[in-house]
Amino acid sequence: MNDSKLIQKNGVKALTIKNCLENTSCYTDYYEFNSCGKISLEQPSMIGSYRRFEYDSKCRLIKSLGLNYTTDKTKDSVWSKSELEYPKHDSTIVITTHFDDRKLVYQDTTKINERSEPFQNVIRNDKGQILQHSYGNLYYPCGTQILGKHTCLYLYNQNGLISHVEIYNSSNEIVVDLKYEYTK
């Protein structure tokens, strides 16, 4: 995903990603952004749920809600809630709660001290943007699994926003093709 400052600078309100898997199935994922350039709504196409995000006055994430669609849009049910606290020493405390049929199933508290690089073998350009990285197996919520080692290549538009992402398998074949379309 793009840096939130870049989303904010370019006045992006929404992003649609056309997500094509192994040139057979294409899905459309949708995101909305707040005035800080942070994701406020995430609607993946492969699953019947979505997420809403809330931020504090410093643009730090304070709550994430995982919701399931219902026939009455005003009463979608919450299946997951994460609340974040920011005590001193640059750490984050995450309280995660899971529900089933509106009843508490599981609750966990995690303390995060630092952010680590989520990818392997990262190559960045002089602006700090990721050009390429690698990782292992790919798992999608629809049940699709693409096993093996993968390389992810990023292309950017003139505003510095991601325009296209291609994910290659170890045989150098494109297995995932992502096209980004922004709405201002």
Domain for residue 126, yes or no? yes
Q: In 10 A of CB 109, how many CB atoms? A: 11
Span 76-114, pLDDT tens digits:
777 777 777 777 666 677 777 766 766 666 666 666 655
Domain that holds residue 81: 48-115
Domain for residue 35, yes or no? no
Q: How far is CA 177 from CA 68, 166, 168, in A?
A: 27, 5, 9
Final residue of a domain: which of 89, 115, 141? 115
Task: Identify whether residues 132 and 169 lie together within a single domain.
Answer: yes
Q: What is the DSSP letter of 75?
A: G
Task: Identify whether residues 171 and 125 lie together within a single domain.
Answer: yes
Query: Based on the structure, what is the number of domains in the chain?
Result: 2
Domain for residue 43, yes or no? no
Q: What is the CATH number of the domain that holds 16?
A: 2.40.128
Span 145-168, pLDDT tens digits:
888 999 999 999 999 999 999 999
